[in-house]
Amino acid sequence: MTDDVIRSLTISQRALGTRSVVLIHHTNCGLESITEEFRHDLEMEVGQRPNWAVEAFRDVDQDVRQSMQRVRTSPFLLYTDDVRGFVFDVKTGMLREIDPA
């Protein structure tokens, strides 16, 4: 989960009055095959290291849990009780809820 997501959720809650958060990640994500080495390679190519993280991961379920935790602990969000996470399986079209534990 990126800082942009937290920014958007903060605006949504504080300016638009939303209270629930639903996070949906998907299988076969390109970020599952990229590593932080990508930033190094980019730095070698353009001569400047990006100041952003790649946000790569290996386990989509764990990544959803981590994102849910980041939402729940953000000091900028007013409502963190109703946070749910899901994985969309791109092959089957099924949406599976992730247990936060």
CATH code, domain carrying 66: 3.40.1050.10
* 64: three-class secondary structure by DSSP: helix
Is the backbone of residue 84 left (phi > 0), alpha (psi -120 to 50) or beta?
beta
Query: Whole-prediction pTM value?
Result: 0.80
Instruction: Give the helix, strand, coil percentages of the chain, each rounded to 5.
Output: 40, 15, 45
Task: Give me the pLDDT at residue 55, please.
Answer: 75
Q: Which residues pair with 98 in a beta bridge?
A: 85
Query: Is 29 annotated as belonging to a binding site?
Result: yes
CA–CA dist 45, 58 (Å, integer) = 25
Task: Give me the pLDDT at residue 96, please.
Answer: 97
4-63 per-position pLDDT tens digit: 999 999 999 999 999 999 999 998 876 777 777 888 899 999 999 888 877 777 888 999
Number of domains, the chain? 1
Query: Is 40 annotated as belonging to a binding site?
Result: no
Domain containing residue 78? 3-98
Mean pLDDT of 83-98: 96
Task: Give me the pLDDT at residue 27, please.
Answer: 86
